[in-house]
Amino acid sequence: MVDTDTGDYHAVSNDQNLNAAQGAGIQSAEIVSRQGVEAVITGHCGPKAFRTLSVAGIKLFTGADGTVADTLERFKKGMLTEAEEADVEGHWL
Protein backbone atom coordinates (compact mmCIF):
# COMPACT_ATOMS: atom_id res chain seq x y z
CA MET A 1 0.00 0.00 0.00
CA VAL A 2 1.37 3.40 -1.00
CA ASP A 3 0.21 6.84 0.07
CA THR A 4 0.66 8.77 -3.19
CA ASP A 5 0.79 12.10 -1.35
CA THR A 6 3.52 11.26 1.14
CA GLY A 7 5.28 8.30 -0.49
CA ASP A 8 4.84 6.28 2.70
CA TYR A 9 4.18 2.60 2.13
CA HIS A 10 3.54 -0.63 4.02
CA ALA A 11 3.03 -4.27 3.12
CA VAL A 12 -0.10 -6.22 3.96
CA SER A 13 0.09 -10.00 4.24
CA ASN A 14 -1.83 -11.94 1.62
CA ASP A 15 -0.28 -15.33 2.45
CA GLN A 16 -3.60 -17.03 3.11
CA ASN A 17 -4.46 -16.75 -0.60
CA LEU A 18 -1.26 -18.27 -2.01
CA ASN A 19 -2.71 -21.76 -2.38
CA ALA A 20 -6.41 -20.96 -2.65
CA ALA A 21 -8.13 -23.10 -5.28
CA GLN A 22 -10.68 -20.35 -5.82
CA GLY A 23 -11.76 -17.08 -4.27
CA ALA A 24 -8.25 -15.67 -3.91
CA GLY A 25 -9.14 -12.59 -5.95
CA ILE A 26 -12.23 -11.85 -3.87
CA GLN A 27 -10.34 -12.35 -0.61
CA SER A 28 -7.49 -10.13 -1.78
CA ALA A 29 -9.95 -7.45 -2.88
CA GLU A 30 -11.62 -7.58 0.54
CA ILE A 31 -8.24 -7.18 2.28
CA VAL A 32 -7.49 -4.14 0.12
CA SER A 33 -10.94 -2.70 0.79
CA ARG A 34 -10.46 -2.96 4.57
CA GLN A 35 -7.24 -0.94 4.20
CA GLY A 36 -9.25 2.04 2.92
CA VAL A 37 -7.48 2.35 -0.42
CA GLU A 38 -8.91 4.47 -3.21
CA ALA A 39 -7.29 2.66 -6.15
CA VAL A 40 -5.62 -0.63 -7.04
CA ILE A 41 -2.93 -0.94 -9.70
CA THR A 42 -2.30 -4.51 -10.88
CA GLY A 43 -1.21 -6.56 -13.85
CA HIS A 44 -4.56 -8.31 -14.29
CA CYS A 45 -7.88 -8.68 -12.52
CA GLY A 46 -10.55 -11.37 -12.76
CA PRO A 47 -14.32 -10.78 -12.77
CA LYS A 48 -15.03 -11.61 -9.12
CA ALA A 49 -12.26 -9.40 -7.75
CA PHE A 50 -13.30 -6.67 -10.19
CA ARG A 51 -16.88 -6.78 -8.87
CA THR A 52 -15.69 -6.76 -5.25
CA LEU A 53 -13.48 -3.72 -5.85
CA SER A 54 -16.21 -1.94 -7.84
CA VAL A 55 -18.83 -2.45 -5.13
CA ALA A 56 -16.34 -1.04 -2.60
CA GLY A 57 -15.87 2.06 -4.79
CA ILE A 58 -12.21 1.29 -5.44
CA LYS A 59 -10.82 2.33 -8.81
CA LEU A 60 -8.89 -0.34 -10.70
CA PHE A 61 -6.00 0.13 -13.09
CA THR A 62 -4.75 -3.00 -14.92
CA GLY A 63 -1.81 -3.62 -17.21
CA ALA A 64 0.83 -2.62 -14.66
CA ASP A 65 4.35 -3.80 -15.39
CA GLY A 66 7.87 -2.74 -14.50
CA THR A 67 8.93 -1.52 -11.10
CA VAL A 68 6.59 -0.21 -8.44
CA ALA A 69 8.34 3.18 -8.60
CA ASP A 70 7.89 3.44 -12.38
CA THR A 71 4.26 2.33 -12.22
CA LEU A 72 3.50 4.75 -9.39
CA GLU A 73 5.05 7.59 -11.38
CA ARG A 74 2.90 6.72 -14.43
CA PHE A 75 -0.16 6.66 -12.17
CA LYS A 76 0.63 10.08 -10.69
CA LYS A 77 1.06 11.51 -14.20
CA GLY A 78 -2.33 10.12 -15.27
CA MET A 79 -0.75 7.71 -17.73
CA LEU A 80 -2.70 4.64 -16.55
CA THR A 81 -6.22 3.92 -17.77
CA GLU A 82 -8.94 2.95 -15.33
CA ALA A 83 -10.33 -0.52 -16.05
CA GLU A 84 -13.99 -0.76 -17.00
CA GLU A 85 -14.14 -4.54 -16.68
CA ALA A 86 -12.06 -7.57 -15.72
CA ASP A 87 -9.28 -8.33 -18.17
CA VAL A 88 -8.98 -12.08 -17.52
CA GLU A 89 -11.61 -14.79 -17.26
CA GLY A 90 -12.62 -16.29 -13.95
CA HIS A 91 -11.67 -19.86 -13.14
CA TRP A 92 -15.18 -21.03 -12.31
CA LEU A 93 -17.54 -19.07 -14.54
CATH number at residue 68: 3.30.420.130
pLDDT of residue 75: 94
pLDDT at position 27 is: 84
pLDDT at residue 21 in the model: 60
The model's pTM is 0.82
- Amino acid in the structure at residue 73: E
* Residue 11 included in any domain: no
Identify the pLDDT of residue 74.
93
Q: What is the pLDDT of residue 58?
A: 96
Q: How many domains does the chain have?
A: 1
Q: What is the largest CA-CA distance in the chain?
A: 40
Q: What is the extent of the structural domain holding 45?
A: 38-85
Q: What is the DSSP string of 18-63?
A: TT-SS-HHHHHHHHHHHTT-SEEE-S---HHHHHHHHHTT-EEE--
33 within some domain: no
Low-confidence ranges of the chain (pLDDT < 50): 93
Does the residue 47 lie in any domain? Answer: yes
- Residue 53 included in any domain: yes
Q: Is residue 5 part of a domain?
A: no
